[in-house]
Structure 1
Amino acid sequence: MIDMTKGDCGKLILKFAFPMILGNIFQQIYNLVDSIVVGKFVGANALAAVGSSFAIVVFVTSTIIGLTMGVGTILAQFYGSGEIEKFKEATFTSFIFIGGVTIIIMIISLLGIDLILSLFNMPNELIKDSKEYLTIIIVGLIFTFIYNLATALLRSIGDSKRPLYFLIIASLINIILDLVFVLKFNMGVRGVAMATVIAQATSAVLSAMYVYKSVGIISFKKSDIRISKGIFRDVIKYSILTSTQQSIMNFGILIVQGLVNTFGATVMAAFAAGVKVDSIAYMPVQDFGNAFSTFVAQNKGAGKIDRVKDGVRGSIKIIIVFCVVISTLILIFSKDIMYLFINKNEIEVISLGAEYLSVVSIFYVLIGFLFMFYGLFRGLGHLKVSIVLTIVSLGTRVILAYILASTWLGERGIWWSIPIGWALADIIGIIYFHKNINSDINLEDNKISN
């Protein structure tokens, strides 16, 4: 466990974020393997179906993940302030509330799957594979809930290593089952989906068992199993607002994916591969933003708000260095990266995918700053600001994508709409920070010095 209320801010955040980054690398690897196995051994249409369906999956799961992220913030605040009884009550309340929401999402998604695919402009030739893939993944959402709640709890007390271990195991299982189900049993898209759910179930069971048996801070007595109005209100506030932010973010991506689908299977396959690379490339700064949120929340709970400014300075330096390196690598190897996803004879898919990466990867530093702002405002409890930034980023992307795609730019207009949305959200984040948060921190500094 890491106490973030003492020591060098930048080093603490980086140390805490590192296992999260590694864990998500493994998670993205098994998502990546899904696409590689499907694209290489099933075909471009199957890759388009899985890639396009994955955007729907991300939107559905973002609600659950957002709920647990919000709860993680309030748990970190209680842990930082030493309010262990409230910590336990918030944990129990979160389990009941988020578990119930997950079941509702599963039922609605399964009943409405045909309508979802219709609204999503899914081409007829891809509907069968997409429906099969989505049905299996949706059934596994219960495991997504269990793992992410356990992870949020562990991270709130400064333990980011255990979730990494569980994800590594799940990733290896997923990769092995992908190859077995698709190559040996010829199960196609269905095999990829089943491999993913089995891997998620493994990580969920392992994380839940560890929390129950090894985390002494939540050794419940009968008296701890209760829900008070105040804690329930806090859990609702943090979880719903954070979930809303995540849902808005992924709903915008979903709308853009619907636009991409109107360009046909070739553009869909290129976009699917490009988005997969994106998710891995800037995932470390996303995890860094989540780690920063825990840092801010713990220090707020401990009454050490003055440390937040130092955390911001350290975070900016780390984000710039990382994004410059990763952007350079992707610019150099964009076409070689596409060869991982699709056979070399799919020349048009490879060319479009490489073009997408060449445009978007230049601006990764912008989304790095945006994730930092999300973490900062969430950790301080300014959750509505994060929602505003998300609406600006995604709203701009959606509007510009539809406008530019209707011009001579075609699908290339979609590529350019993405960094423009990031830039506008960053500008608003900077303005809000300097006008509100920065002045509050300076005021707190003056109180301490006096």
Structure 2
Amino acid sequence: MHRMKQADNRQVNLTQGRVTWGLVRFSIPVIVGGLLQALYGIVDMSVAGQYIGDNALSGITNGGMIMTLLTFLAMGLSFGSNTLIAQYYGAGCTEERVRASETTVILNLAVGLLLSLVLAVLANPIMLLLRPPAFAEAVTYFRICALGLVFIFGYNGLTSIIKALGNSRVPLLFILMAAITNVLLDLLLVVVFRMGVEGVAIATVCAQAASCLGALAYILANHDLYGVKMHTMKFSAEDGRAMVKIGVPSALQFVLNGLSFLVLNKLMNQYAAVEISAAYGVSTKLRDLGVLFLSSTQGTCSAMVAQCLGSGLVERAKKVVYSTVAFDLAITALVLLLFETQAPLFCSLFSGEPQTIQLAAVMIRIELLGMWGYCFFTPIHGLATGSGHAGFVLLNGFLFICLVQIVSGFLLNHFVGYQGVNISFIIGHVAPIPHCVYFLYSKKWAKTRLAAPTQLSESS
């Protein structure tokens, strides 16, 4: 079994150096990349609101909710490959790492292609479940965007390979490509050619294709490091099971979280005024933008923990969690200051309707208070995923983030009105903290559940 070659600038060993500096250095490109990804969602909403109208804004909100849920599924699946590859990398198992990388490419592209075809066909009945006010626009947007799922799954799988080796800078370039593509095509197809919701959706799919194909080209061009070649790729059932074992619980947790938002969105759709649905769509985009910072550091924490535990550095892994919590608290303070003082300005980027802007500003000020909860549970979710305890993430997500949020949403909607739905976001993201603290201090995570422990122990 071959040991890793001396590191070059395409890979970073996260088991060495100061923990805080390593966390910040890895996180910043991920955060910037997340902001750029959010950019083309924001551009879609802004162009739709300014140039098409509130019906388009509502349709994109509802179609986008399901696309966000499916993107969560892709992200969760990529956590499985990232954890496995990072632990192989930390242990110096080069042959196993290459094998796992090949399996990642095949698995993600196959799952993405299957979902693209199935969901494009089922777009109409899926939207019937949500009953959005702007039904036709929602179906159109979702059907076209569903065809891009192969690129979403492909991109997440490919960049999980790159990030597992400690490189978060290169994926940023692919997201930049996607953001530029999306903005230009939105302006061309919607503003110039007046293609409406179809133009917004086509621009999004083209942007996703650009990032996926860019990542694939990079990995193939650097086959000396990643070992992936198109004509020699093979699927490993053992590694596939390992990725599913870690990735599926993570994916289900993301999906359950997304489903809870869909349920809450349906509560908003029950109000006859379309501006309430449109305002909730605006606040959701801004909320996701704020939460994006903390979701990005969760991925960083997971990658660092996986490398540390692969190298047997248990105390360093724990230090990674503490540093992530501190970093998240600092980010949250800055984000809340910005959004609480400038909420109407941000909301006006999405809609020109004064009532929609006013409603959205109130909603986003309420919901972003839930970020304080994110600061504590997302780093521990990163610890659980990086150590292979994805079942904990699923249980925590279902019991608290999903179940508590839905129940409180229904109750508060009944007694308080639509703003009760916004308050339920805070409750759902503070509730999991005690369970997370218990998991951290129980040290169950220190018993690494790598899917291939035999190879790991042999190479140590």
Please tell me the residue identity of whatever aligns with 1:89: R
Q: Residue 70 of structure 1 contacts residue 243 of structure 1 at CA under 8 Å; is this kept in 2? A: no
| Paired position in structure 2 for 1:99 | 109
Candidates 227, 232, 253, aligned match of 2:261: 253
Q: Residue 93 of structure 1 contacts residue 235 of structure 1 at CA under 8 Å; is this kept in 2? A: no
Would you say 1:384 and 2:384 are equivalent positions? Answer: no
Q: 1:230, 1:143 → 2: CA distance?
A: 25
Q: CA deviation at 1:355?
A: 0.9
Q: CA deviation at 1:224?
A: 7.0
SS in 1 for 2:194: coil
Q: Residue 38 of structure 1 contacts residue 188 of structure 1 at CA under 8 Å; is this kept in 2? A: yes
- Where in structure 2 are there 5+ consecutive unaligned residues? 1-10, 449-460
Q: 2:135, 2:233 → 1: CA distance?
A: 45
| Paired position in structure 1 for 2:276 | 267
Q: Residue 2 of structure 1 contacts residue 157 of structure 1 at CA under 8 Å; is this kept in 2? A: yes
Runs of 4+ in 1 over 3 A off after TM superposition: 220-230, 436-441
Q: CA deviation at 1:92?
A: 2.0
Which residues in structure 2 correspond to 1:121-136 (within 5 Å)?
121-123=131-133, 126-136=134-144
Would you say 1:315 and 2:292 are equivalent positions? Answer: no
Candidates 234, 237, 248, aligned match of 1:240: 248
Classify 1:307/1:115 alpha carbon distance in 2 versus 1 (closer, same or farther; 3 Å). Answer: same
Classify 1:281/1:151 alpha carbon distance in 2 versus 1 (closer, same or farther; 3 Å). Answer: same
Q: Which moved more, 1:112-121 or 1:100-109?
A: 100-109
| Paired position in structure 1 for 2:375 | 368
Per-residue CA deviations over 1:104-134 (Å, capped at 9, x if unaligned) read 32233123212111111222xx111111111
Q: Residue 374 of structure 1 contacts residue 386 of structure 1 at CA under 8 Å; is this kept in 2? A: yes
Q: CA deviation at 1:246?
A: 1.6
SS in 2 for 1:186: coil
| Paired position in structure 2 for 1:412 | 419
Q: 1:222, 1:261 → 2: CA distance?
A: 46
Q: 1:219, 1:373 → 2: CA distance?
A: 32
Classify 1:57/1:169 alpha carbon distance in 2 versus 1 (closer, same or farther; 3 Å). Answer: same
TM-score by length of 2: 0.91
Q: CA deviation at 1:318?
A: 1.1
Please, what is the CA RMSD of the aligned residues? 1.9
Per-residue CA deviations over 1:328-358 (Å, capped at 9, x if unaligned) read 1111111221111111xx2321221111112
Please tell me the residue identity of whatever aligns with 1:136: I
Aligned residues: 436
Q: 2:410, 2:204 → 1: CA distance?
A: 33
Q: CA deviation at 1:394?
A: 1.6
Please tell me the residue identity of whatever aligns with 1:421: G
SS in 2 for 1:381: coil
Would you say 1:89 and 2:99 are equivalent positions? Answer: yes
Please tell me the residue identity of whatever aligns with 1:272: G
Classify 1:148/1:221 alpha carbon distance in 2 versus 1 (closer, same or farther; 3 Å). Answer: closer
SS in 1 for 2:15: coil
Q: CA deviation at 1:299?
A: 0.4
Q: 1:176, 1:377 → 2: CA distance?
A: 40
| Paired position in structure 1 for 2:14 | 4
Q: Residue 75 of structure 1 contacts residue 156 of structure 1 at CA under 8 Å; is this kept in 2? A: yes
Please tell me the residue identity of whatever aligns with 1:296: V
Q: CA deviation at 1:77?
A: 0.7
Please tell me the residue identity of whatever aligns with 1:13: L
Q: 1:279, 1:130 → 2: CA distance?
A: 20
Classify 1:3/1:351 alpha carbon distance in 2 versus 1 (closer, same or farther; 3 Å). Answer: same
Would you say 1:295 and 2:300 are equivalent positions? Answer: no
Q: Residue 372 of structure 2 contacts residue 430 of structure 2 at CA under 8 Å; is this kept in 1? A: no
Per-residue CA deviations over 1:11-64 (Å, capped at 9, x if unaligned) read 101100111111111111111011011001111111111112110111123222
- Where in structure 1 are there 5+ consecutive unaligned residues? 442-450
TM-score by length of 1: 0.93
Which residues in structure 2 correspond to 1:353-364 (within 5 Å)?
353-364=360-371
Would you say 1:333 and 2:342 are equivalent positions? Answer: yes
| Paired position in structure 2 for 1:31 | 41
